[in-house]
Structure 1
Amino acid sequence: MKIVIINYGAGNIQSIKFAIKRLGYEAVLSDNVSEIKAADKVIFPGVGEASSAMKKLRDSKLDAIIPDLKQPVLGICLGMQLMCNSSEEGNTQGLGIFDVDVKKFSDKVKVPQIGWNQITDLKTSLFKGIPEKEHIYLVHSFYAPICSETIAVSEYEVPYSAALQKDNFYGTQFHPEKSSTIGEAILKNFLEVI
């Protein structure tokens, strides 16, 4: 199986690569369009700020190919947020894969939300074998509200989308690669079940 992690200079790339290796697979980092298109599975990571990350995607022309990918794609953290219509962070236009706009948590709570939180309302094979109320690891100041594409829910000030899915596109607000054995099981589901 060919696994490609999109390399666009906005990633927690090494920790994802190590997590995939622990599952017995090798992943390659690439910004090469034909290599990404030829992959069996694509992982779209992201750590950082939305508008500068989108600029990197546009500069490398990756913004044009990601929405057209036909194989399973997993966006992680900022990667998931960039797959949405827009983000309040830097007033950023997203890739428009998920039909939801990313919002900022209010000033009433400490941001970023850092640490472990529960996930509930788990749907789709991404969460096959994962019990309700398991804990996952998050670091974020922005969130995707609950919408028709929500497949897992977490709560911090408000309930929000911990994961999204539309067709072959999946996204997790949490970091599966930093979420211990549960995160590893979710990553395994993406690689082996989906």
Structure 2
Amino acid sequence: MDIVIVDTGCANLKSIQVAVKNLGYDSIITSELSKISKSKKIFLPGVGTASAVMSILSKKNIIHIIRECKQKILGICLGMQLLCDFSEECNGVKTMGIIKSSVLRLKTNNLPLPHIGWNQITFSKTHPLFKNIPNNSRFYFVHSYIVPINKYTLSTTNYGVDFSSVVQKNNFFGVQFHPEKSGDIGAKLLKNFLEI
């Protein structure tokens, strides 16, 4: 199976590749359009700012390839947020517009930002992505912006407010946490995605 990790210029590309390798799959990190469009599964990672990653994707002409792709794609952390219409980050950034939602700054009252550490995801119905994953399992988060709960939300997490921790629209999946940093439970979710 051809698995592509889109080269977004961020720091966690190798850790995703290692996590996929540990599941018995080979993957390539690339920004080559032909390799992305011919792949069977795509990971869209993101660390840093929405404006920086959108700029990289724009320069490499990757945005339209992602918008048009029919294979399953998993946005991780910022990668999930980039699937939305718009982010409040950096005075406002237009993102890919696949999922009709804005990305908002996390308002937590007295809790520190960014939201860093292990937190639960809660889902109300079964889904292939959650196969063998108990409800309220804990995953590792690092973020200051959120996708509000919307019609594409598959699971929610609370950190001062409830927000979307997993979303899906057709072949587009997104997780706000880092499965590649979430131990055995994160590996299960990655395996489920690869086997959907």
| Same fold at TM > 0.5 | yes
Q: Which structure 2 residues correspond to residues 1-194 of structure 1 after superposition, within 5 A?
A: 1-90=1-90, 91-106=92-107, 108=109, 109-121=111-123, 123=125, 124-192=127-195, 194=196
Percent identity over paired residues: 46
> Structure 1 residue 182: deviation in Å?
0.6
CA contact (8 A) 2:108 2:160 kept: no
CA RMSD of aligned residues (A): 1.1
Partner AA of 1:169 in structure 2 = F
1:111-143 residue CA offsets vs partner (Å, 9 max, x unmatched): 100000001015421111211111000000000
Aligned with 1:99: secondary structure? strand
CA contact (8 A) 1:8 1:60 kept: no
Structure 1's unaligned 5+ residue stretches are none
TM-score (norm 2): 0.96
Aligned with 2:46: secondary structure? coil
> Structure 1 residue 106: deviation in Å?
2.3
Structure 2's unaligned 5+ residue stretches are none
TM-score (norm 1): 0.97
Structure 2 distance, partners of 1:8, 1:153, is 26
Structure 2 distance, partners of 1:29, 1:141, is 26
Residue-pair matches, total: 193
* Structure 1 consecutive aligned stretches of length 4 or more whose deviation exceeds 6 Å: none
Structure 1 distance, partners of 2:113, 2:187, is 26
